[in-house]
Amino acid sequence: MSNVHPYVGRAQPRVDGPLKVSGLARYSAEFAAEDMVYAAAVPATIAKGRIVRIDASAAEAAPGVIEILTHQNRPDMPEEDKPYKADMVAVPGGPFRPLRDERVVFSGQPVALVIADTHENARDAATLVKVEYESETPTVDVGDARDGAYEPPEKRNGIPPPPPPRGDAAATFKGSSIRLEEEYRVAAEHHNPMELQATTVEWDDGRLVVHNKTQGVNNPKNYLCSVFGLDPASVEVVSPFVGGAFGMSLRPLYDLTLAVMASLKLERSVRLVLTRAQMYTMGWRPDTLQTVALSAGEDGRLTSIRHEVVQATSQYEDYQEPTVNWSGLVYDCPNVTLGHKLAKLDTPTPSDMRAPGATLGLFALETAMDELASKLKLDPLELRLRNYAENDQNDGKPFSSKELKAAYEQGAERFGWSKRSAEPRSMKDGRELVGYGMATGCWEAMMQPHGASAALTADGRLEVACGTADIGTGTYTILSQIAADAFSMPIEEVTALVGDTRLPMAPVEGGSWAAASAGNAVRLACAALKEELVKRARGLDDSPLANASADHVVFRNGRITLVSDEDVSVSYADLLGAAEGGRIEAMAKFAPDKDFKEKFSSFVHSAVFAEVRVDEELGVVWVERIVSAVAAGNILNRATARSQILGGVVMGIGMALHEETVWDRRLGRIVNANLGEYHVPAHADVKNIDVIFVEEKDEANPLGVKGLGEIGIVGAAAAIGNAVFHATGRRIRHLPITIDKLL
């Protein structure tokens, strides 16, 4: 029996909220260790070439300096690539290894590590390390590398390559009178979570406790064991709080490798906090050149889609994300050709950034759809409805659920889409041009095997645990809600634990799979704990529940009670009293239902509506309001779920209007590697955002959950760009839409 008013489905305040608002939540750079030393990484000043000479003498002589590591004197590390691929998010190629050798493969690459007694001494000495380079001309712009674009010979694990062509898109396009072909580009972006990437290694006589900013503690642990040959019993990764990541901290980053290298060498505790500029020397959302060609009949039905992308990657790895697949999926169309090529740049390998692939691909497709609607003189929403896909167009499977039509309807209603006048430049408010735009969003509803535990502890609390992460998504809270409901307990009596390798196994938190996967794992663990409790209750001497089965009892008010007779019960306290160590624990494993996945496609959908205001004369543009209507299955927590969508939308506003990583193409250096000149949206840029969760029943997992971390951003930039077109009649196909592009 569940709570009369279950926690699941409520707008439950975050259980970790009080810790976060009082500054007591500890992030990776905030664990203190005795006798700890501080490290600082020295960044390469060239983007491509080799180190000729390192003169560390001045740095060595600086106050407080303990050690300076370079490729010349670092401890031995494995030569081959394989140990470094003990990274569950690795991509084809040879992973970057700090201090590997004299080669420089991107600007800002760490070429030395200074370790000193204080943070200030390490920072100061790092500036005294003199490095001489032999420099080659770098390529950092995907446009400059497009001629050498190639299809990746090895596909990235877990990322579906573009599906094979269906029908004949080229011939259909050629024979069509209603058609368009355009190139779209989105500027390179960096994740820029607020927390700096950091690792604190607590060294205790050869045993390591590593506090590393990560989206999944098991990934750095596996990596460290593989790379440094550590005994898994001698290293734990403990990272209970993550100050935003958005994909950046999925893979082991060089702060981890360097901090542990230094700790093992010095046999001391070490802290390494990267600088904001160094946050631009790792993963990023790749710059892409996308071509979309669409044709349609007079009835507005799509007759062909061609979507090809040239996506940036590094010289040393073939990073891939699913950029074009969406164009084969979201609309009903018989002739589709999709292509994905890579172009090598002298930059770090790009990495997953909030809705990788979908964000870029659907910007292009949904802008092209708006262009098609304009050509057809058809309402953009009507065009989507006429091409609505009732099943997965890529593989023909039915959807496990798809309430996108309801999202379109409810979103349009809330937004007031019917008030949109069809012609561009036809809506004004005083001096400003007003524009309404919309777009569709889509993201795969994924799940991964997760373990979880549930325990009654000596103090009578319920403790649930899973080795996943809470990167701000609300994992602590939803796990607590699920557990509280399972035991009809007040949520205040539940403790949720994540972010620790001593907890049951979980992969990284990414792809929006954590809620469905960890949530169901905890649900199963709670069920297993109930069974264990009933078993123990039956086994008590003179047990009143001696013949009871799990089906015949309820769990509430700290007791197991017979359904048929409320006076017959056993208290948790009695069971705990009899239990060894005063703790009763059960474990469970959740795995996605393979048969279900064989039969159904599962996706999250959204309809995004945006209103922009444009001061055409001055090129000033802002987003007045956004309505995001999301179909994502069952909503576990209406507050944290809404926040996920808000966050995605805000990042979408940044993508549409502000964000752009700028390289000096001659030097291969990023010129705006800071938060002053790389503009993420500020308070003033964000006005009204309305989130709707449409009713959607899904059976892919018992909780009916699909995941929300990515969907908020998908389609947001296209909706804004389409609104700018509606306001001004100008189509900006290269994001961000900055003042100069509107003048």
d(CA 605, CA 712): 10
693 binds another protein (CB under 8 A): no
- Of the residues 151, 671, 695, 697, which one makes contact with another protein according to CB under 8 A: 671
Residues 469-498, interacting with another protein (CB under 8 A): 471-474
Beta-carbon contacts of 105 under 8 Å, excluding residues fewer than 6 positions away, are 48, 96, 314, 315, 316, 346
The tokens describing 457, both together, are 């502890």
Closest separation in Å from C-beta 604 to another protein = 18
Q: Which is nearer to another protein, 52 or 171 (CB)?
A: 52
Closest separation in Å from C-beta 542 to another protein = 42
Helix (H), strand (E) at residue 131: strand 130-135
Closest separation in Å from C-beta 187 to another protein = 12
Residues 82-121, interacting with another protein (CB under 8 A): 118-120
Q: Which is nearer to another protein, 45 or 426 (CB)?
A: 45
- Select from 176-184, 358-366, 533-541, 685-693 the region that touches another protein (CB under 8 A): 685-693
d(CA 252, CA 685): 33
Closest separation in Å from C-beta 165 to another protein = 38
d(CA 202, CA 199): 10
743 binds another protein (CB under 8 A): yes
List the beta strands (DSSP E) in 521-574: 553-556, 559-562, 569-571
- Of the residues 341, 674, 702, 734, which one makes contact with another protein according to CB under 8 A: 674
511 binds another protein (CB under 8 A): no
**Could you tell me which of 258, 317, 313, 325 has the C-alpha nearest to residue 98?**
258
Contact 169, 337 (CB under 8 A): yes
Residues 413-432, interacting with another protein (CB under 8 A): 430-432
556 binds another protein (CB under 8 A): no
Size of the site for another protein (CB under 8 A): 95
Contact 59, 39 (CB under 8 A): no
**Could you tell me which of 199, 224, 239 has the C-alpha nearest to residue 500?**
239
Torsion on CA atoms 22, 28, 29, 33, rounded to nearest 10: 100
Beta-carbon contacts of 575 under 8 Å, excluding residues fewer than 6 positions away, are 456, 533, 536, 537, 540, 584
Q: Which is nearer to another protein, 528 or 649 (CB)?
A: 649
- Select from 298-306, 417-425, 545-553, 647-655 the region that touches another protein (CB under 8 A): 647-655
Q: At how many degrees (to 10) do helices 218-228 and 254-266 cross? A: 50
Closest separation in Å from C-beta 13 to another protein = 5
Q: Which is nearer to another protein, 388 or 622 (CB)?
A: 622
618 binds another protein (CB under 8 A): yes
- Of the residues 102, 168, 182, 615, which one makes contact with another protein according to CB under 8 A: 615
Encoded one letter per residue, x for contact with another protein by CB under 8 A and - for no contact, window 573-612 reads ----------------------------------------
Q: Which is nearer to another protein, 476 or 603 (CB)?
A: 476
**Could you tell me which of 735, 708, 739, 740 has the C-alpha nearest to residue 720?**
735
Pairing between β-strand 235-237 and β-strand 620-631 as defined by DSSP bridges:
unpaired
d(CA 392, CA 398): 6
Q: Which is nearer to another protein, 477 or 520 (CB)?
A: 477
Closest separation in Å from C-beta 647 to another protein = 4
Closest separation in Å from C-beta 97 to another protein = 23
Residues 16-75, interacting with another protein (CB under 8 A): 16-27, 29-30, 32, 45, 63
Closest separation in Å from C-beta 240 to another protein = 11
- Of the residues 251, 285, 344, 613, which one makes contact with another protein according to CB under 8 A: 613
Residues 128-157, interacting with another protein (CB under 8 A): none
The reply to whether 677 belongs to the active site is: no
Q: Which is nearer to another protein, 157 or 688 (CB)?
A: 688
- Of the residues 243, 411, 451, 504, which one makes contact with another protein according to CB under 8 A: 243
Please give the full DSSP string across 665-723, using - where no structure is assigned: TTTTEES--STTTS----GGG--EEEEEE------SSTT-B---TTTTTTTHHHHHHHH
Residues 173-202, interacting with another protein (CB under 8 A): 191-196
Residue 709: count of CB within 10 angstroms of its CB: 27
Torsion on CA atoms 595, 600, 601, 604, rounded to nearest 10: -100
d(CA 255, CA 41): 8
Closest separation in Å from C-beta 219 to another protein = 18
d(CA 425, CA 334): 34
Encoded one letter per residue, x for contact with another protein by CB under 8 A and - for no contact, window 258-297 reads ---------------x-xx---------------------
d(CA 240, CA 465): 12
- Of the residues 666, 695, 697, 699, which one makes contact with another protein according to CB under 8 A: 666
Q: Is 274 helix (H, G, I), strand (E, B) or coil?
A: coil
Catalytic residue set: 710
